[in-house]
Every structure is written in C-alpha cells, then in structure tokens.
Chain A
Amino acid sequence: MRLSRAVRDTLVGALIAAGALASVVLFVTTTYFTVLCLIGIGFLALPHLTTAVRWVCDLNRRAAARSGVPVERPYRPEPEEIERDIVGWVRRCKWILADPASWRDLLWLLLNSVVGLLLGSAPAALLYYAGEGLVLAAGLWRPVAADGTGRWYAFITVDSWPAALAAALAALAVFAGWLHLSSWILKGHAYFVLFLLGPTQGARLASRVRHLAETRSGALDIQAAEVRRIERDLHDGAQARLVSLGLTLGAVDRQLDRNTEEARRLLNDARSSSVQALRELRGLVRGIHPPVLAERGLADAVRALGIASPLPVTVVADLPGKLPDPVESAIYFSVSELLTNALKHADAGQVEVSLHYADGALHGQVTDDGRGGAAMSAGSGLEGIRRRLASFDGVLEIDSPRGGPTVMKMELPCALSSPKTSSS
C-alpha cells in the first residue's frame, strides 16, 4: 500500500521535474513574446503560448490536488465572441495581459524551474541512492575498491565487508526515507503551487462578484417574469370575472321589478362568476406561495405534493429546523417541477424524494424509475430549476442515463433556524 503510493509519488515527481524543465523553456519564450507584444508582433504567438502555460499550470494544479491541496483556477473568463481577425487577437492578448494570474503564472514558471526540479526529482533521487547503496554493499564495492580509492556511501567509505554492512543499513534507511517522505515532498511542492497558482484574495473576490452579478440578474429575470405572469393572470382572470360580475348585478337591478325569474337566473350567473374568480385566484396563490408551505413548512408541503401526484411518491424528510422562506420556496417549486417531469416525460412508475440538512446545506434528491435521458437544455424546466437554485448558490446535478433511473440532486447552502420558531 505504502510502497505503491511511494512508487506513484515518484512517478508524479518525475513528471513535475520534467514540467520544471519545460517551465524554463516556457518562461523564456513567453517573456520574449510578451515583450514583443509591446512593439506589435507577438500578438499571434502569445495566446498559443498562454494556452501551453496554463496547460502546464493545470497539470501542476492536478498534481497538487492529488496531494490533498486543491488549487482553484484563478483566470478570468475568456471574453465571448472573439473575432477571428487581428482585432480579435489583440483583444485576446489584452485579456491575457490584464489578468494578474497570467503574471503570477510567469513568476511561478521561473521559480518552478528550480523548485519543481529539486522537489520533483527528490523522490526518484532517494530511490536511486538507496538502490546504489544496496548494489554497492552487495559486492560492487570490491571491484571499485580494488583500484585503492574505495567508494563513499553517505559518510561511509565502503572498502570492507563491515563497511558494506553499514552501507547496506544506511541504504535501507534511505529507502525508508523514500517510502515515507515522498508524499510529503510532493505536498511541499503542492503548497508552492497553491502559493502562486491559486487565486489571490482579490481574484477570489472578483470571481465571486462575477458569479453574484450573474445569478442576481438571473434572479431578477425570474422575478420579473413571475410578476408579468401574475399581472396577466389577474388581468385576464379574476379582474375580468369581477367586471362581468358587476355587469350581471347591474342587469339584475334592472330586471328585479319586471322579471323576477330572469333576475334569479342572472343572480345564479353572478354566483358562478364569483366561484370561478375564486378558483382562479386560488390557482394563482398556489403559484406564488403555496398555502400549505406557509402553514406546514417544507417537509409537509413536499409530502402534500407527493400525495397530490398521481404517481406513488415516497417522501423522506429530515429537517431539524426551519429553512429561510425563499429557500423553502425554491426547493418546493423545484421538487414540484421534477415530479411533473417524472410523470410527463420519464413515464415513471414510482418516485422517491429525500430532503436532509447537512454541512450547512440542504440536500434534496428526486429519484424515479422512468426511462431517463433527461438533460439540461436552454429554456427547459431543468434549466429553470438550475437558475432558480443558482440565485441561492445552489446546484442541480443530473444523473439520467438512457433507460433510467434518473437521479436529480439539489444542493442549497443555507442556514437553519432552530425548530418551532417559524414566524407567522
């Protein structure tokens, strides 16, 4: 176990060392063409070189992640729709040169040509040295010592059998060192990678701001669309019904003395008009904020969804407290949409919904035994769910192979307030 790990670490180390050699070349050429950008030419080469630089950096990030030090990519997103002419090339270079991460990459390349070479080759060197000691102790010292000089291993002059034995012990110690230290050496390199190739506080904040700006505008779009829908529904529905109700009552007023039969018939019309208006308002209210969610909280509201679905739905909910209202609402409508999908598109026979809270996030999962093949596409219901959850930094994960089963996972970071303290 430890042996195979040390072997793999040695191989990765060798790759890092090879990368360090490439670092030198990349550093020199990239610096050269960056300077050439100043006088005009260089624009054509820089983007390609940057791709190569970032590729090498990404490999080192992956090596770092393997050593248990995850390093995020700090680069700014590439500008969209870049022209394929000279203007496009210049814009691309501007994007590269304006990103502090590009300069940190360069600095890292320079330092890595030494640090990477030393640390990366260290495990291999240790292994080689241990091997050399053992071979020497096994008898190679004799022909070597024959010319009268002897051979040094560590601090031992190997020129006799006792010295050979001591050398063998020293070699074993080096081997043990290789076995135990390799992963630590790589970890050291990983921290070096993190130090220069990870996002700086500023870059992290900038990327966070970018994400927030995107999701905020998404949330505002959703909200604006909702408000428009509500306005339209009220205008065409309840409002129109109330107008017709008023008109009918006016007609009743005119007929009251002349034709009581007719007046009674009109009153019945008026009544059914008001029933219809109430029904439409009820539907609208359900779409805005389902009453059962307000009355019972998320777990019971999702159970109510399950009960109302024509499919057999099992709901397992373990929520030790109350979630913030907007989060409850987002999850409720997402589950509702997923249940509808399971019924309409997946042709499922049964559905399982689970909700639980762990590690500062709400985890929801909807599993159906339908035909699968669900995928995110623009304008689809799933895209709507993704956007709804994204406003809360939540994610939707889709696992739906053809032939099923479909597993939809939602994760929404949120705080949980203590139970039984729901506000009215």
Chain B
Amino acid sequence: MRVVLAEDLFLLRQGIIQLLEAYDCEVVAAVDNGADLGRAIAEHRPDVAVVDVRLPPTFTTEGLQAALLARRERPGLPILVLSQHVEQMYARELLADGTGGIGYLLKDSVLDDRQFIDAVRRVAAGGMAMDPTVVAQLMTSHSRDEPLAALTARERTVLELMAEGCSNTAIAQRLTVTEGAAAKHISNIFAKLMLPPSSDNNRRVLAVLAYLNA
C-alpha cells in the first residue's frame, strides 16, 4: 500500500513512517506543509494520504484544507486525518461529499499500532475510521431527536461502533456476541431510522453519518 504522509513535527513524522513501514506500507512521500502535500498527492497518486490538520505556514487547518482540495480534484481519494483534538465541525466537512475513504482520528491513535494500521487499511479500502469522541458527540447532540431516541441502549452502542467504522465482525467481537446478533441489531437500527437497507457496509455507515450530520 502506498502512502503520502503530511506531518510537520519531525519526531512524529519519523515515528509514523517507521510504524507504517513495519506493517508493509510504502511511504512514497513525507512532507511537512500543505502546499507540498497537494503536489505529492498529484505526483504519487497514493492509495491513502495520512494528514495532520495543523500544518505550516499558518498552523490553522492547512492540512485539512489541502486534503479537501485534493479530494475535490480526485473524488474518493482516501484520506486519514490526524489531529491533537477532534471537532465535529471538521468531521462534517470531511464527510460532506458523501463518498467513502475518510478517517478522522486523534493523534493518540498511533500509540496502538495495530488499531492504527487497521484504520489506515480500512480508509484506503474506501471505508471509515471515525474517532469515538466524534461519534459520541454526534450521539449526544442528537440524543433528544426522534427517532434516535427510539433506539435501545444496545442499538445505540452498535450504531456508535458502526460510525467508528467497525465491520459486522468487529462489532460482534467488541460486544462479544455472534455475528448474527450484531446483524440483527443493525437491521433494527436501520428500520428505526428509516434508512434504506443496503448490503454495502460502508454505504450504511455513510448513511448513518449523513443522517446524524443533517
């Protein structure tokens, strides 16, 4: 898998490169600012771009802007955004185009290398990887809304795991239930939220997030 990395802190950049290479990912370019990121993506056409939100020269949301720009030029380009803090507002902007291949995680996630690599792979494959805090915030800010209020506590947990990007298998593992039980919960959720059933895991998640972001 070919990765372009944008991170301005030298130590963190080297650390992420090592981590990715340890799991057979090829870091084709590692840059430290937004302008170079755009160029590197255009030149190398990577399978996924791993991007820090805050980059020089403005140290605001340079990375996020560059990533969104690159995605406009190449729709569906998988992007995993890393940040020291997560904002629902940025999550909305990333998810706005409704195509998959989006990840938005706290930088802490690199501390758990297996989970991190799992997220990178999921995003590269067109899936989702949302930080649990974003998902939790989405849930609280909509908790009073109909029909989300109709979900049982268990269904709510399942929905949160789906939004983080977990597959049926992963949900079943996390909740220590059978895959069949997980699938049952999921179909209940879709019925209650009146979302059209779909077999594609990623599409479902997008539907849920679009619904919550509305």
Contacts and interface: CB of A to CB of B under 8 A. Distances in A.
Interface in B132-161: 137, 140-141, 143-144
B89 A282 contact: no
A296 B84 contact: no
A274 interface: yes
B137 A275 contact: no
Nearest to B53: A295
B57 interface: yes
Interface in A289-306: 291-292, 294-296, 300, 303-304
Given A275-B108, A279-B108, A304 B87 contact: yes
Contacts of B106: 278
A307 B89 contact: yes
A310 B140 contact: yes
Contacts of B107: 278
B58 interface: yes
A259 to B, nearest CB: 23
A253 B211 CA distance: 50
A282 B85 contact: yes
A308 interface: yes
Nearest to A278: B108
Contact of B58 (A291, A292, A304, A424): A424
A271 interface: yes
Contacts of B137: 307-308
Interface residues of A, number: 22
B179 to A, nearest CB: 28
Contacts of A300: 89
Contacts of A309: 141
A291 B141 contact: no
Nearest to A291: B85
Contacts of A308: 88, 137, 141
Interface string B82-102: 001101110010000000000
A310 B143 contact: yes
Contact of B87 (A274, A275, A285, A292): A292
Contact of A295 (B61, B108, B111, B141): B61
Interface in B48-105: 53-54, 57-61, 84-85, 87-89, 92
B89 A303 contact: yes
Contact of A296 (B60, B88, B108): B60
The listed residue with most A CB atoms (<10 A of its CB), out of B57, B60, B84, B107, is B60
A308 B136 CA distance: 10
A291 B86 CA distance: 9
A424 B8 CA distance: 15
A300 to B, nearest CB: 7
Contacts of B140: 310
Interface in A359-406: none
Contacts of B84: 282, 285, 291
B60 A294 contact: yes
Contacts of B108: 275, 278-279
Given A274-B111, A310-B140, A296 B59 contact: no
B194 to A, nearest CB: 20
A310 B111 contact: no
Interface in A163-182: none
Given A308-B141, A310-B141, A310-B144, A295 B112 contact: no
A355 B108 CA distance: 35
Nearest to B143: A310
Contacts of A232: none
B176 to A, nearest CB: 20
Contacts of B112: 271
Contacts of B54: 291, 295
B88 A304 contact: yes
A310 B141 CA distance: 4
A292 B89 contact: yes
Nearest to B89: A304
Contacts of A278: 106-108
A8 interface: no
The listed residue with most B CB atoms (<10 A of its CB), out of A294, A308, A309, is A308
A208 interface: no
A278 to B, nearest CB: 5
Interface string A229-253: 0000000000000000000000000
B60 A424 contact: yes
A48 interface: no
Closest 6 CB pairs of A and B: A295-B60, A424-B58, A304-B89, A307-B88, A291-B85, A295-B61
Interface of B: 53-54, 57-61, 84-85, 87-89, 92, 106-108, 111-112, 137, 140-141, 143-144
29 contacts: A271-B111, A271-B112, A274-B111, A275-B111, A278-B107, A285-B85, A286-B85, A291-B54, A291-B84, A291-B87, A292-B85, A292-B89, A294-B59, A295-B53, A295-B60, A296-B61, A296-B89, A303-B89, A304-B87, A307-B92, A307-B141, A308-B88, A308-B137, A310-B140, A310-B141, A310-B143, A310-B144, A424-B59, A424-B60
Given A278-B107, A292-B89, 18 more contacts: A271-B111, A271-B112, A275-B111, A278-B108, A282-B85, A285-B85, A294-B59, A294-B60, A304-B89, A307-B88, A307-B89, A307-B137, A308-B88, A308-B141, A310-B141, A310-B143, A310-B144, A422-B58
